[in-house]
Structure 1
């Protein structure tokens, strides 16, 4: 299995990254022989920006490329390509244990100056044992302006064998000074059949369930897997898709808004409980606290720091869950609009009867206004408007 196998529907991106991995391998091999080979002008460069819509596989592509850069497959001597997926370099990079592959993902709303300075300091070091030092930043769009300015210098003048792999939804989400110094790769939303095939082949999901989940999530692989395997996720999506028919009066709008926010909070709580319990237990064990016993003296501060971090993460998780719900709602109205223009195919497909009723009861102009109301709500949440107020304003506009 090659490192690219989980990158679905991105053949052009895979081709470009494979070429870069070959040139990177040639550069390091030449250096190990005491020869000189320029990186400039080749398919390889020291800074990359992966962009694409949610679910397109930005971070998957970045991690796969990082693994290919560490590949030590003996087959390469026979003409094989870097990124075999089986050698120690590939395997440890993919599972997250390679000493020279740093994956940065934030559980907070932003990435600050302090964390970025630590990354920049690490980027100046030579690889500990691998061929390249790769730093994968999955949430480059969450860099504060100050953090972006700190990162700029490292991207502008990188160490000889350090590569920065930045991921963001679009180029506009990254400082112009940073994106101008990166080679840009734009990923697309994977086709629904390709996502369904991955769910069947990789996760053992029944073909009809996989296809329905892939269609409902519009090609988002991670969400499709969760929808296909989690009954509670399906129930929460059903709650979202019932909302358009529950906003006939003011009372209905306010109740629907409260239920939508509560569903997002419940989704976030479920994810947090699973992760928080594991983190807390691991920290207690590291601090030497026996099960059911008090923490050793002087360690309470570490536990308090963990609790504060978990609370901040919960805020982001709830907002992300609410944003996903609004994405589902936008998809519903997109299907309504398609039906109003004569299409017989509901793109999301799992609320066909509701789509039909709403399409008949309104006009395309009204549907477009409703879609704008949902997008306005997402923009308000980005500006840190209180979730319930933003959603109430949206449901009143939907009415």
Structure 2
């Protein structure tokens, strides 16, 4: 991602297309595709205010929001609008990818593969349309984030991830920045951060995670009712905490963008730790940092009582719960119950297909027990694909 070598980077705000004439109740992406002039004008206003990227208005151009529509054709049209607005000035154009609105067990009943397929359709379309990078923007859960990132990594495009959190720094499913960072950077995200209110308490999330970051931080700050000067002032604690990719949201005008551009001039490139402490497993709600020696429990079978077995695991000598996964149903059970653990989870499987499923459906970062019947040349690419730790 060569333009990440030129940080800080100012993202364009999420445009308010109602200001461009979007009728109330209309589907924004469909209307924009039919009215490229107003959409392009708003994007050009952001460019003139000082942004260094443009995102095509494709946030909801997917089957989750627009079933039975020509998703590939729609994304091509919207990327073209952004490319035309960028002109020949060398500004990279990204494809924006929004939340699915679906939740996998135990938070909902959606199927992870269905979510992945929806993201894959849109992301493939954005890639074919010529997007220079992907912005996973405002996703609400780790299952969405992982499904979208897995789809994104099939393209080779750079990926910036923004996680939507409330004023307490929590996602709709109880996640937070640090476990998401541990999981997503291991899976290949090029930058990770938050979409959040411009509150100093949320800047502390970045400060606490800083020593564990192997990739740059990003944030999209909601402008709410802040003036341009107030928004720029609110951005300073985030920049001081290490954020170097900065944007704002709906309601921000050119003056907000100019104020952010001015304050960013005071900050240089990100200073990442020379040896970030990334040696951690994770579930959605917690990261588990590993010591020099991992002591596995006795194998725990995947049964209907798996959640209770993980909660009840009480052995001071054990530093990780070893879960034995023997079939596809076991992989699904681990994905649903694994979030109840109080220890990092190591998974044992003797079938590559079963191991792939266990890694795919677990919302977090697993340890793989390499003392199994699967050859190492098979284990290593699986660990790399899902960001798992091979032990």
Report the TM-score range of the alignment, normalised by the length of the smaller protein: under 0.3
Q: Which has the larger radius of gyration?
A: 1
Give the number of the structure whose residues are more often helix, by fraction: 1
